[in-house]
């Protein structure tokens, strides 16, 4: 239960990406901010601008004004990443000015690059704690930076250099940055262990991204409509949700779908929700595998509607091995959909193998076997109920209580530290005066 005597806080959240960009980090930041606001806290989200035209930017600002959280947009560079993410400018003036005009109790940074170092700098300048959530395995995202892309034509020297960056430079930087912060939050116990392998010494805690209450209230009538619309008259509807990007391992997923067909026939349809730079390529791959008629690429779906699509599913498919938590797994659980996923950090913290789904090695035949076992066996309903029970641990309202406690603890410790240092200075000056 929340402490009713908890003092209202002024919280600054710094992020490199936010709505309208679709991704796990924007969802996490938004949910955290809004739950903390419900507790009476003042949350300001510092986020990049989006939009190539004045009309698009004005529309974004109007939407920000209607949001419960205060949103301060800062400037970005012209060049974008292939997936639509933007490059923030270094040390944005908009953030610096906001801190000059408003007092904050703590800073929560959601990235170790770009706005992350600025958050650390502002924390030291204003003597307030800096909390860092490590949302991303950055060593798995190097392909978004052109200079680090490797293909069959790349030289051996470049391949070795990129591998050195992946295995040495990034872990070293992550350790350095984490140790500049007062508290490091990991979305899963697995990611906390990864941070420790980097050599991180900072205090850490596990805080998953939570689920809003509406994820537990799927519209069953709408779910049936979705099933009729996308099921193509087949017995089973399988669903997956994520950005259509390399790190989400869609090549494996499509091959796995072809294997499922080999094992149970074609009496199922797969609905893929999400968009990304690999969409066209994946459609070609599906055609090459002969499963183009069994797969629908539905594109991006508004976040508040995803629950109904998940509720329509007999099974949720997941192949990503680059997650720190995998928010969508908890979302699938809330809808009562068992999961078949590839074993990986983050994923194995939420999926209880054989209870609410299955975890497999990155082997298409094994993955397809487990999917077939759920669909053709008699445990699908039981697994769905276990999935719903597991989702209860991810309610945003519960997790926000813990987050609030962690913030308060950091703030109190920082103030005590500042008071102690001030007292030491006074004592030292008094002693010098005596002499």
Residue 332: HSE in the Cβ half-sphere, 13 Å Cα cutoff: 28
CA distance 263 to 250: 20
CA distance 130 to 186: 14
What's residue 139's pLDDT? Answer: 87
Please, what is the average pLDDT of the chain? 91
Contact 413, 129 (CB under 8 A): yes
Contact 312, 224 (CB under 8 A): yes
User: Mean pLDDT across the stretch 89-111?
Assistant: 95
User: Mean pLDDT across the stretch 212-222?
Assistant: 91
Residues facing residue 274 across a β-bridge? 299
Q: pLDDT (tens digit, 9 = 90+) per residue, 66-82?
A: 999 999 999 998 888 77
Contact 36, 11 (CB under 8 A): yes
Which of 1-10, 122-131, 267-276, 325-334 is predicted least confidently?
1-10
User: What pTM does this model have?
Assistant: 0.86
Q: Is a pLDDT exceeding 50 seen at residue 435?
A: no
Q: pLDDT (tens digit, 9 = 90+) per residue, 230-283?
A: 998 999 999 999 989 988 999 999 999 999 999 999 999 999 999 998 999 999
Phi, psi (degrees; rounded to nearest 5) at 410: -65, -40
Confidence of residue 111 (pLDDT cuts 50, 70, 90): very high
Q: Is a pLDDT exceeding 80 seen at residue 6?
A: no
User: Mean pLDDT across the stretch 394-401?
Assistant: 94
Secondary structure of the chain: what % helix, strand, coil (to 5)?
Answer: 50, 15, 30
Q: Is a pLDDT exceeding 60 seen at residue 30?
A: yes
Domains of the chain: 10-210+395-425 (3.40.50.2000), 218-393 (3.40.50.2000)
Question: Which residue has better confidence, 125 or 23?
Answer: 125
Q: What DSSP line would sit under 50-105, residue for residue?
A: --SSHHHHHHHHHHHHHSSSEEEEE-EEEEE-TTS-EEEPSS-HHHHHHHHHS--S
CA distance 9 to 39: 10
What's residue 420's pLDDT? Answer: 65
What's residue 426's pLDDT? Answer: 57
Confidence of residue 290 (pLDDT cuts 50, 70, 90): very high
Query: Over pLDDT 90: what percentage of the chain?
Result: 76
Confidence of residue 84 (pLDDT cuts 50, 70, 90): confident
Q: Is a pLDDT exceeding 80 seen at residue 394?
A: yes
What's residue 192's pLDDT? Answer: 95
Q: Is a pLDDT exceeding 70 seen at residue 421?
A: no
User: Mean pLDDT across the stretch 320-348?
Assistant: 92
């Amino acid at each position: 239960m929340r402490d009713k005597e908890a003092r209202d806080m002024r919280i600054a959240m710094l992020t490199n990406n936010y709505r309208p960009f679709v991704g796990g980090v924007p969802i996490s930041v938004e949910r955290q901010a809004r739950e903390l606001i419900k507790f009476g806290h003042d949350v300001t989200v510092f986020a990049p601008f989006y939009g190539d035209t004045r009309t698009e930017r004005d529309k974004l600002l109007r939407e920000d004004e209607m949001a419960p959280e205060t949103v301060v947009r800062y400037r970005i560079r012209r060049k974008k990443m292939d997936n639509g993410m933007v490059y923030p400018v270094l040390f944005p003036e908009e953030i610096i000015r906001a801190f000059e005009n408003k007092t904050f109790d703590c800073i929560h940074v959601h990235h170790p690059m770009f706005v992350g170092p600025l958050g650390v700098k502002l924390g030291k300048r204003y003597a307030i704690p800096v909390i860092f959530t490590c949302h991303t395995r950055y060593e798995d995202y190097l392909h978004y930076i052109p200079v680090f892309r490797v293909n069959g034509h790349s030289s051996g020297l470049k391949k070795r250099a990129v591998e050195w960056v992946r295995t040495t430079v990034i872990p070293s930087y992550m350790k350095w940055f984490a140790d500049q912060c007062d508290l490091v939050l990991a979305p899963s116990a697995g990611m906390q262990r990864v941070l420790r392998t980097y050599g991180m010494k900072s205090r850490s805690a596990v805080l998953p991204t939570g689920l809003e209450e509406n994820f537990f209230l799927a519209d069953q009538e709408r779910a049936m409509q979705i099933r009729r619309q996308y099921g193509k008259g087949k017995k089973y509807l399988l669903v997956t949700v994520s950005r259509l990007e390399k790190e989400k391992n869609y090549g494996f997923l499509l091959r796995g779908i072809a294997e499922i067909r080999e094992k149970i026939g074609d009496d199922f349809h797969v609905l893929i929700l999400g968009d990304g730079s690999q969409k066209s390529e994946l459609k070609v791959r599906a055609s090459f595998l002969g499963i183009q008629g069994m797969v629908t690429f539905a594109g991006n779906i508004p976040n508040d509607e995803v629950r109904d699509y998940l509720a329509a599913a007999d099974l949720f498919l997941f192949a990503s091995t680059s997650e720190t938590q995998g928010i969508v797994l908890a979302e699938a659980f809330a809808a009562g959909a068992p999961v078949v996923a590839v074993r990986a950090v983050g994923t194995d913290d939420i999926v209880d193998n054989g209870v609410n789904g299955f975890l497999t090695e990155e082997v298409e035949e094994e993955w397809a076997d487990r999917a077939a076992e759920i669909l053709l066996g008699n445990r699908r309903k039981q697994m769905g109920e276990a999935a719903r029970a597991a989702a209860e641990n991810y309610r945003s309202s519960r997790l926000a209580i813990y987050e609030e406690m962690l913030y308060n603890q950091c703030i109190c410790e920082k103030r005590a530290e500042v008071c102690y240092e001030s007292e030491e200075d006074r004592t030292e000056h008094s002693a010098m005066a005596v002499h």
